[in-house]
Structure formats: C-alpha cells, structure tokens
A and B are shown apart, each in its own frame.
Chain A
Amino acid sequence: MLISIFAQVFGLIFLSLSLDKHFKSVFKTALPHKLSLWLKSTGWLLIGLSLFFVGLFALSPSIEVVYWLAILSGNIILLALVYCRL
C-alpha cells in the first residue's frame, strides 16, 4: 500500500511538472518539449504502477481502491497548495 501511495504522489508530481506553467514556477526556465513528453509518460506509468500495486498486494482490493481514490484527493489538495505557495 505504501509503495502505491509513493508511486501515486510521484506520478502526480511528474504529471504536473509536464505542464509549462508548473514547470516554470519550480525551475524558472522554459520547458523543453521532449522533457515534457518524458515527464508525462513517466507520470502516467507511475499512476498505473500505483494502481497495479493496489490490486496485487491488497488483502481486499475493493477497499484498497477506495483508499487509493481518497488518497488521490488528498494528494491533489497538497499539490495544489504547494503550487499556490510557489
């Protein structure tokens, strides 16, 4: 479950960084197109992995999926707050 959460957090971070606006607010330089594609694909891969880990190792996959979705909301809130402050 913990691996799943980490994968989800980093997946979201990568996905958000693949956007010009957020990349600029963190790194202060323009976002090269290739890097953007790389970040997007890695981001989605991590999200997929995180779901995979939930399904594979969970004792009760249905409950774990609910947890995953709830933690997703939590992650989005945290990420939004971080970007607002930057």
Chain B
Amino acid sequence: MKPDFRKSMIWLHTYSGLVIGWLLFSIFLTGTLSYFNPEITQWMKPELVHVSSTQNMINRSLTQLHKKGVDADTWRIYLPDERTQHWSIQWHKEGKRHNLSLGPEQGQILSPRESAGGNFFRTFHYTLQLRGYGGLYIAGIAAMFMLVAVFSGIFTHRRFFRDFFTLRLKKLSKTLTEAHAIVGVVTIPFCIMICTSAIMIYVIMYMPFSAEHYAGGQRDLSRALSPGLVNLDKSASRHIPLLDFTVVGRQVQSQWPGQKQIRRITFEQPFSQDGRIIVERVKDLTLSRQSKRLIFSSHSGEPLAGYPNASKATQVRRVFFGLHEAHFADISLRWLLFLLGLLSSALIATGLIIWLNKRLEKVKQHHIGHFIVERLNIAAISGLPLAIVTFFVGNRVLNTALENRASIEVDVFLWAWLACLFHSFLRPAKKAWVEQLLITSLGCYLLPIIDLYQDSQRLKNAIFDGNLTYLTFNLFVLFTGLIFMKTAFWLRAKNTLYKTVSLRVNKLC
C-alpha cells in the first residue's frame, strides 16, 4: 500500500465506495423515504379518513372487541395519531389474527385497500426483500462499509475546513467533485449516526458469539437484560374484561400528563382472571425505542406491577435504535432529516459517477469493468427512483379487490427495477440516463392525474379538510418530476453538444 496515510485512505475510499455504492444508494434512498412511512401509507390507502380527532375511541374499540373478539387470547387497540390516521383493533384467537380498521362514525368499519404502504420502504432498506436469506446481514455489512467510506473520505480531501465551500459550476466533473465534498462534510454526523445506530440495532445478531457462549443465545440474553412481565397462569378462571376504560384512563392521565399520550393498548389474556392491560405511551418524548408502559388488571382496572427496568446497556442500545428511527422528531426535524438522507443518497450517487468519469478520462481502452460500472450506475441511480414511482402508480392502478395485493405491488416495484437494469445494458449509456430520468418524471406527473381521474373528490376533500399529507405528497411528487425532467433535458443538451463538437472535429480531421 502507499506509504502515505492520506493516499491509503484515498485508495480505501475509492474502492470501498465502489464495491458497496449501488447497494448503499438503494438502502439510503429507501431508508430516507421511511422517515415519512405513515404519511406515505396514508397516501397509498386513500380509503383512510381523518380519525385522530374522534372522541371516546378507546371505549368504542372495546365495544367492538367485546362483540367480535370473544374468548380471544390477545386484544390490541391501535390509537391513531396525526401522522398515521389509522385507528384499528386486532384480536388473536386460535392462532389466527384478525384486524379491523375503525372509522369516526359510530360503528363504522373502514376497508382500506390492501397495500404494503410506506412500510415497504422501511422493511426493504434493512431486509432487501431477503429476510430469510441473509438480507439483514448484507445491510449490516453495507453499514460497516459506509462507515469506512465516510472515515476514509474525511482524509481524502486536503485542507479540511479551508477550501470547502466552493462550488464551481462551469465544468461538470469539478462540480460533481466539489458537490460530493460539500455534501460529504455536511452529512458526516448524520451518516455516522445512521450507520452506527444501524449496526447497534442488530448488534448481537451480527456478533452472536459472546451471547451464545455466556447467555445461551440472543433471545435468552434479551430476556435476561430486559425482562418481560411474569408469565400468566393459564389455568385461571374466566372473567369478562372491563367495558369502560375510564377507570384505567384516569390513572394513566395522572401518570402521563398531556393529551393523547396513549399509543397502543394490549390486553393479554383478556378473558382470564389474571389477564392484564398493557398501556403503551407515545414515543415522541423519548430518544429510546421503547416508551413507557403501564400495567393494569384486565377486569378490574387496578394497577399491577410494571415492567422491571432494563439494564443500562439495553437502554443504550434502545437509544441508538430510537435515534435511527427518529420517532421523536417533529415535522420540522423530520423534514431536515429527510433532506439529510436525500443528500447522503446524492453523496453516494455522485461518488459513483465521479469514479466512473475519472476512470473513463484516464483509460484509453474501455474495459468490461467500466461497462458494468457504467450500466449499474444507471440502473441504481436512475432505476431505483423509476421503480419507486412505478410502485406508487401500481398502488393506484391495481384493482383494490385483488388477492395478495400488497405483494403484487412489491412485485411491480421489483420487475420495474429489473426492467431498468435490462434497459441500461441494452441502450447506449448517455441515452439510457436521459430515457430513464424522463420516464421517472413522466410517472411523477402521472400520479396526481391518475388520482384526479380515479376519484376527483379526493383532491377537493383534501383541500377542504386541510389534508396536508395528501397535498404535500402530491406537491413533492410534482417537484421531483420537475427536477428529473430538468436533469434529463440538461443531460440531453450536453449529449447533443458533445456529439456536434465531435462531429465537427471529425470533419476537420
């Protein structure tokens, strides 16, 4: 290796970035979209209505559960908030799980279309659709590579703070390099936080040897470090659970001051004498992934012993997890984190493009390696947004009564991405960029139009009810379409200029 530390770091930065770049771009882009997971789900299920200001939701849920979930093993009530607007109840009986989405009117039951929603992006970014096949490990490896790339990247740029804030816009390669540098500096803390917290989420799974040797495995270790509640006595006599939540609600209110502090209510063994209610608080007030919980008896509502405190190390891990998910973030911080995520994705994309351009400038004979990098760049950087837009179009276009609709939507995403890969290999590179960007922007423009065509009331209702989620989504999609279109036109203009110049040069020679 080079004797100079800086030169070794440059080498490491170049190659670690290249090897993992396409995967990392996909993880970062889908992960960034996950910041708006419930909002995207709201847009993808237009049948949902505004429920978060409904009165008396808990008692109404209990009425429904008493009707439908008799002798169930578990009852769950998910209360809506401003972001999710999804009020649902759930009950487990004989191994099967039943769900109902409730509406604001008395006894109203909604049936939103079956869709993975924004949660698809969240699960994709850490499982890569390969949950049983090692996807979690691959994502963890990618996180480690990113840390190496960020660290080595810091040493790649000379005169760390002095020369940074220049951005020469005339020559493209200089612009890209300097944009990469600026964005890199700005997103250093964000990237390091995200990658470290990502690894800490599955810290024991990725390095299980210690846990297996001393504690008998990951599960036993978690049970030891964050003990759950005592096991319920299965043979206890039958007792109907309470009908009115007020007695519990008052106690909860005294311990957790403020409006709408309850996120979820779980009844464990509701029809048993020993059954208990677990009330879980909203997560806005803590950095930790686990918010506070209160335990009550399921038939009398009297308070029971709470969860024992988790060990300090587990609490540290939960804070890492919470930082990664950023559920504590209010709307402004969430947009800022979203912006930082987009910038990090742009960082990775510009890095890949810079690598290719620098190599193509130096080398006379193009090598199959350059060809592959060039085409994978196109398939990842312009192909993934295209696949995402197709995913949204599929959500609107697919029949709502289809069986397995959620997984069909995901298949649409994957097939569209594969098509982009083929397209990038079959077309000349410069044309492939322009075409994919144009198709993506076309898809972006199509989305609000499809909405208007399918149900013109949606937009009107959104404006009159002040449904900011719906309106912001549409505006952002149109804005994205505009950006992709402008980039495509700019690239096309550059291509024709290049062609004209080289034709003229050929004519002269």
Binding site for B on A (CB under 8 A): 16, 19, 21-22, 60, 62-63, 66-67, 69-74, 76-77, 79-80, 83-84
Q: How far is the CA of A79 from the CA of B166 in the complex (A)?
A: 11
Give, as a whole number of angstroms, the nearest-CB distance from A73 to chain B: 5
Given A63-B287, A73-B340, A74-B336, does the pair A21, B162 have CB atoms closer than 8 Å? yes
Residues of A within 8 A of B189 (CB): 69, 72-73
Q: How far is the CA of A61 from the CA of B285 in the complex (A)?
A: 11
In the complex, residue of chain A having the shortest beta-carbon distance to the beta carbon of B319: A62
Residues of A within 8 A of B337 (CB): 70
Contact B190 A73 (CB under 8 A): yes
In the complex, residue of chain A having the shortest beta-carbon distance to the beta carbon of B285: A60
Given A63-B287, A63-B328, A84-B166, does the pair A71, B323 have CB atoms closer than 8 Å? no
Residues of B within 8 A of A60 (CB): 285-286
In the complex, residue of chain B having the shortest beta-carbon distance to the beta carbon of A16: B165
Q: How far is the CA of A22 from the CA of B162 in the complex (A)?
A: 9
Contact A19 B162 (CB under 8 A): yes
Nearest first, the 10 A-B pairs at minimum CB distance are A84-B167, A80-B165, A83-B165, A76-B186, A62-B287, A70-B336, A77-B186, A73-B186, A63-B328, A80-B182
Q: How far is the CA of A22 from the CA of B287 in the complex (A)?
A: 38
Q: How far is the CA of A70 from the CA of B189 in the complex (A)?
A: 9
Q: How far is the CA of A50 from the CA of B73 in the complex (A)?
A: 52
Contact A67 B333 (CB under 8 A): yes
Q: B164: CB under 8 A from chain A?
A: yes
Residues of A within 8 A of B286 (CB): 60, 63
Q: B310: CB under 8 A from chain A?
A: no
Q: How far is the CA of A82 from the CA of B182 in the complex (A)?
A: 13
Give, as a whole number of angstroms, the nearest-CB distance from B116 to chain A: 29
In the complex, residue of chain A having the shortest beta-carbon distance to the beta carbon of B323: A66
Q: How far is the CA of A79 from the CA of B286 in the complex (A)?
A: 31
Residues of B within 8 A of A79 (CB): 165
Residues of A within 8 A of B319 (CB): 62
Residues of A within 8 A of B163 (CB): 21
Contact B165 A84 (CB under 8 A): yes
Binding site for A on B (CB under 8 A): 161-167, 182, 185-187, 189-190, 285-287, 319, 323, 328, 333, 336-337, 339-340, 343
Q: How far is the CA of A62 from the CA of B319 in the complex (A)?
A: 10
Give, as a whole number of angstroms, the nearest-CB distance from A7 to chain B: 18
Contact B186 A80 (CB under 8 A): yes
Q: How far is the CA of A71 from the CA of B166 in the complex (A)?
A: 21
Q: How far is the CA of A66 from the CA of B197 in the complex (A)?
A: 14
In the complex, residue of chain B having the shortest beta-carbon distance to the beta carbon of A21: B162
Contact B187 A73 (CB under 8 A): yes
Q: How far is the CA of A77 from the CA of B319 in the complex (A)?
A: 27
Residues of A within 8 A of B323 (CB): 66
Q: How far is the CA of A84 from the CA of B287 in the complex (A)?
A: 36
Residues of B within 8 A of A67 (CB): 333
30 intermolecular pairs with C-beta atoms under 8 Å apart? A19-B161, A19-B162, A21-B163, A60-B285, A60-B286, A62-B287, A66-B323, A66-B328, A66-B333, A70-B336, A70-B337, A71-B336, A73-B187, A73-B189, A73-B190, A73-B340, A74-B339, A76-B185, A76-B186, A77-B186, A79-B165, A80-B164, A80-B165, A80-B167, A80-B182, A80-B186, A83-B165, A83-B166, A84-B166, A84-B167
Given A21-B162, A73-B187, A80-B164, does the pair A66, B287 have CB atoms closer than 8 Å? yes
Q: How far is the CA of A63 from the CA of B185 in the complex (A)?
A: 23
Residues of A within 8 A of B333 (CB): 66-67, 70
Give, as a whole number of angstroms, the nearest-CB distance from B313 to chain A: 17
Give, as a whole number of angstroms, the nearest-CB distance from A84 to chain B: 4
Residues of A within 8 A of B185 (CB): 76
In the complex, residue of chain A having the shortest beta-carbon distance to the beta carbon of B189: A69
Given A83-B165, A84-B165, does the pair A70, B287 have CB atoms closer than 8 Å? no
Residues of B within 8 A of A84 (CB): 165-167
Residues of B within 8 A of A19 (CB): 161-162
Q: How far is the CA of A60 from the CA of B286 in the complex (A)?
A: 8
Residues of A within 8 A of B162 (CB): 19, 21
In the complex, residue of chain B having the shortest beta-carbon distance to the beta carbon of A80: B165
Other than the known A74-B339, A77-B343, what 15 A-B pairs have Cβ atoms closer than 8 Å? Answer: A16-B165, A21-B162, A62-B287, A63-B286, A66-B333, A69-B189, A70-B190, A70-B336, A70-B340, A71-B336, A73-B186, A73-B187, A76-B186, A77-B186, A80-B165
